[in-house]
Amino acid sequence: MPKVDRNARQQPLKEVGPVPMEADDAAAAPLPDKPKFAALSGDKQAGGDAKVEFRRVPVPQHRMTPLKTAWMELYKPITENLKLDMRMNLKTKKVEIKTTPQTTSTDGLQKAADFVHAYLLGRWGPGGHMCLGRQSGLAVGAPPSDSIGRLSSPAGAVGP
């Protein structure tokens, strides 16, 4: 951006020509190659030591009873597959999910929080399709017919 000169009498701004920069001989020398590092595993990306992270998912009052009845169906995949700790805090009415030293997936915590949130929104019910993954444009834990409809039509309607 060019420098601007302004007199004390509030005259319109005038542009001042560009200021030449001095080139150093050191700047003209070629730069060294970029270092190449090996890929890090999930537990080392967090800073070497396993840092405990957690998510709290609020539970609406009208979803408390369905959550209690389907608790084991939610609890088992999260604790066994993703190696996370999960508990229900009845005082604050929140599901708390946290990492453990055995957790290897870096995005497992967010996947679990999304999975529980999808159940609380009513997007998945017992006996329905259960998915611990994320897909763009699809609701996590959506029934298969709903997902197919979202893929086939722009309005998300199922049918001809």
State the average pLDDT over residues 108-118. Answer: 92
Q: What is residue 129's predicted lDDT score, i.e. its pLDDT?
A: 54
| Domains of the chain: residue spans and CATH | 46-129 (3.30.1370.10)
pTM score above 0.75: no
Q: Where are the beta strands (DSSP E) in the chain?
A: 4-5, 14-15, 54-58, 84-89, 94-99
- Confirm if 46 and 101 have CB atoms less than 8 A apart: no
State the average pLDDT over residues 73-80. Answer: 92
State the average pLDDT over residues 149-154. Answer: 54
Q: What is residue 103's predicted lDDT score, i.e. its pLDDT?
A: 86
pLDDT surpasses 90 at 65: yes
